[in-house]
Amino acid sequence: MLLHIPGLFSREEVRRIREALEQTEWADGKITAGFQSAKAKHNLQLPEGHPLAQEIGAAMIERLWKTPLFMSAALPHKVFPPLVNCYTGGGSFDFHIDNAVRQPKGSPERVRTDLSATLFFSDPEDYEGGELVIQDTYGVQQVKLPAGDMVLYPGTSLHKVNAVTRGARYASFFWTQSLVREDSQRTLLFEMDNAIQQLTRDVPDHPSLIQLTGTYHNLLRRWAEV
């Protein structure tokens, strides 16, 4: 499932974040790449533990936990602290699949990367190229969202970032370990949750709502790993 989550940050918040990113120092993006990915990765990144990256990451996680669409779709158990990158001057990241397990620097905690996410801090008109290209069950999807919007997709997906040929593409990316490992099961639960919410708005007193909600939770109980 590939999901667009709009407006995670407001325009004013994005403006302040981007101004801070434009004034900071960057490192080679290969610092967090695996052996194979490092061969394909050509971008800039804030190191793990960088104060600005930590500030942005903390704000993102706080916002995510208050975003019903993310909570319903991801069913999050653990979130890897968000990282921040920049593509400019021809920077790109060729096709790859993210490492299955990530360990934050200086932490014993490990996160299984069931879901990948990118939050855009640059608007599409600010740069040329830079599309996030994702191969999923519906074919190849190209994603280039407004600043403040986020895309969520399975960590098992083959994906790349096209070369940025003009301007700069600022973004944050992170991984989520879900309570439900399988994408097909998460998708079913997400669709069922959406249906329950729609019925609650349209026919709040319908007796089938209790049965449908119970079925949702029984499926989640069957599939959840805690």
CATH number of the structural domain 3-178: 2.60.120.620
Q: Return the CATH fold of 183-223.
A: DNA Excision Repair, Uvrb; Chain A (4.10.860)
Residues 111, 80 contacting (CB under 8 angstroms): yes
* 148 Cα distance to chain centroid: 12
| CA-closest candidate to residue 88, choices 26, 175, 174, 36 | 26
On whether 4 is known to bind a ligand per the annotation, the reply is no
On whether 98 is known to bind a ligand per the annotation, the reply is yes
On whether 96 is known to bind a ligand per the annotation, the reply is yes
On whether 169 is known to bind a ligand per the annotation, the reply is yes
Residue range(s) occupied by CATH 4.10.860 in the chain: 183-223
CA 128 to CA 138: how far, in whole Å?
A: 25
How do the pLDDT tens digits run along the chain, 226 residues long?
Answer: 899 999 999 999 999 999 999 999 999 877 665 555 556 778 999 999 899 999 999 999 999 999 999 999 999 999 999 999 999 999 999 999 999 999 998 899 999 999 999 999 999 999 999 999 999 877 899 999 999 999 999 999 999 999 999 999 999 999 999 999 999 999 999 999 999 999 999 999 999 999 999 999 999 999 999 8
